[in-house]
A = this chain, B = another copy of it.
Amino acid sequence: MNYTKYPPADDLKTRWVRLQELLSEEGSDACLISSSVNIYYLTGMVFNGFFYLQATGNPIYFVRRPEDLQHPYALSIRKAEDIPDLLLKNNSGVPGSVLLEADQMTYSEHVRLQALFPDAKIGNATPLLRKQRMIKTSWEIEQLKYSGKIHAKVYSGIRDCYHPGMSDVELQSNVERAMRLAGSIGLFRSFGSNMDIYMGSMLAGDNAEVPSPFDFALGGAGIHPSLPIGSNGSVLKEGTSLMVDMAGNYTAYTTDMTRVFSIGKLPAKAYYAHQVSIDMHNRLISETKPGTSCASIYNYTLQMAADAGLSDYFMGTRQQAKFVGHGVGIEINELPVFMGRSVDLLQPGMTFAFEPKFVLPGVGALGIENTYLVTDTGIEKITNFEENILEL
């Protein structure tokens, strides 16, 4: 399978053209981008500096570091305040309106950049880029498919990482090593300030009930109060489940996949709940096509959970997540979000994770998560791996 680390020039250009269309629709002259995630999206690399794009013409890469970066569009700067003069020298002119990433940079950084354009109307670039990044280019889709392939390969090795008497953290440490050897970048990026996490999550038994402060589907106590999420040192116990939700960060684009393992046999109710999740995925696959609303998907999963008598266990117990899926890409949590009040409709090129999960007290978490691509006619599963509960 073809896997290249750098996007082809035309794939990048497609993104610039699309961004320029959105700038024009917005009535903005330009955008000045500085977040790592959007610089990566717009250039295929990460540098310390700014990506500047006007409604027409080529971008400028204003680069602080690395100091010796060579690129046809790169101009070296020492600080942001160098930019206005360079724009004049470059015959770009000073923009009448500029978009900045107001939902990503700090207040102080934003105030500082506003001062570069004292007479300009300042707008918010973040929603524009989040909206654009919903529709993946063909290279981006290849990246996700590659990540999905390796993701499944690593999961197929999880049983080999296990021996009886292990704790969740010990198993996770072995799996993390396997992920790194398979090419996991380690870091995976998330949007927003309430998303502290590390490599993923393994929830054993009742640790799956413990609510976390972060905006993930489920929680877990974690091993330290300074990072209250995920595995907590529980020894894996006979008759309980282990929900494995580790990152698919084998390229810059991360797939999201959850599978359930069991230590010995589980009560019948567990297999029943797990099957209800699989049924939800089957319905998703058979019914979803371009135009399907995210809210309708959320609503029917809620209804299916109720029909199965499992409402009290759906997406948690003590604290129940109010979404059942989310876009994925360079960040683990992109648009659209699958919530009751979503207004988004699915379109070809969107990639999303669907994660209807249950938690049964005394047993643990159940259900599966897959990453899907929306095609012209339906959806395609990107994370392909055995979906039934696997005994460790």
Contact with B along A17-49 (1 / 0, CB 8 A): 000000000000000001110001000111111
Complex: A47 Cα to B212 Cα, angstroms = 8
| A44, closest chain B residue (CB) | B225
Complex: A212 Cα to B169 Cα, angstroms = 32
- Which of A45, A109, A187 has the most B CB atoms < 10 Å from its CB? A187
Given contacts A5-B224, A48-B213, A67-B318, contact A173 B177 (CB under 8 A): yes
Q: Indicate the size class of the contact surface on chain A.
A: 35 or more
Name A214's contact: one of B35, B48, B170, B227 (CB within 8 Å): B48
Number of copies: 2
| A309 interfacial contact with B, CB 8 Å | no
Given contacts A66-B212, A106-B102, contact A180 B187 (CB under 8 A): no
| A208 interfacial contact with B, CB 8 Å | no
Interface of chain A residues 234 through 279 with chain B (CB within 8 A): 251-252
Complex: A102 Cα to B223 Cα, angstroms = 30
| A90 interfacial contact with B, CB 8 Å | no
Write the nearest CB–CB distance from A245 to chain B, whole angstroms: 15
Complex: A186 Cα to B247 Cα, angstroms = 14
Write the nearest CB–CB distance from A1 to chain B, whole angstroms: 17
Q: Is the CB of B176 within 8 A of A187?
A: no
Name A180's contact: one of B35, B111, B176, B219 (CB within 8 Å): B176
Across the interface, which residues of B come within 8 angstroms of A36, CB to CB?
193, 196
Across the interface, which residues of B come within 8 angstroms of A197, CB to CB?
187
Given contacts A68-B319, A172-B180, contact A225 B45 (CB under 8 A): yes
| A181 interfacial contact with B, CB 8 Å | yes
Across the interface, which residues of B come within 8 angstroms of A91, CB to CB?
none
Q: Is the CB of B124 within 8 A of A185?
A: no
Q: Is the CB of B226 within 8 A of A106?
A: no
| A40, closest chain B residue (CB) | B226
Q: Is the CB of B103 within 8 A of A105?
A: no
Complex: A109 Cα to B170 Cα, angstroms = 38
Q: Is the CB of A211 within 8 A of B65?
A: yes
Name A177's contact: one of B64, B68, B174 (CB within 8 Å): B174
Across the interface, which residues of B come within 8 angstroms of A187, CB to CB?
196-198, 227
Across the interface, which residues of B come within 8 angstroms of A5, CB to CB?
224-225
Write the nearest CB–CB distance from A157 to chain B, whole angstroms: 14
| A226, closest chain B residue (CB) | B252
Q: Is the CB of B45 within 8 A of A193?
A: no
Contact with B along A180-223 (1 / 0, CB 8 A): 11010111000001101111000000000001111100010011
| A349 interfacial contact with B, CB 8 Å | no
Q: Is the CB of A223 within 8 A of B44?
A: no
**Which residues in A have some Cβ–Cβ distance to B below 8 Å?**
5-6, 34-36, 40, 44-49, 64-68, 100, 102-111, 124, 126, 169-170, 172-174, 176-177, 180-181, 183, 185-187, 193-194, 196-199, 211-215, 219, 222-228, 251-252, 318-319, 330
- 16 pairs from A and B in contact (CB 8 Å cutoff): A5-B224, A46-B225, A46-B227, A68-B318, A103-B106, A104-B106, A105-B106, A105-B193, A106-B107, A169-B181, A173-B180, A173-B181, A176-B177, A183-B223, A185-B227, A226-B252
List of 9 A-B pairs having minimum Cβ-Cβ separation, nearest first: A186-B198, A226-B252, A107-B110, A66-B211, A173-B180, A48-B213, A177-B177, A102-B107, A187-B198
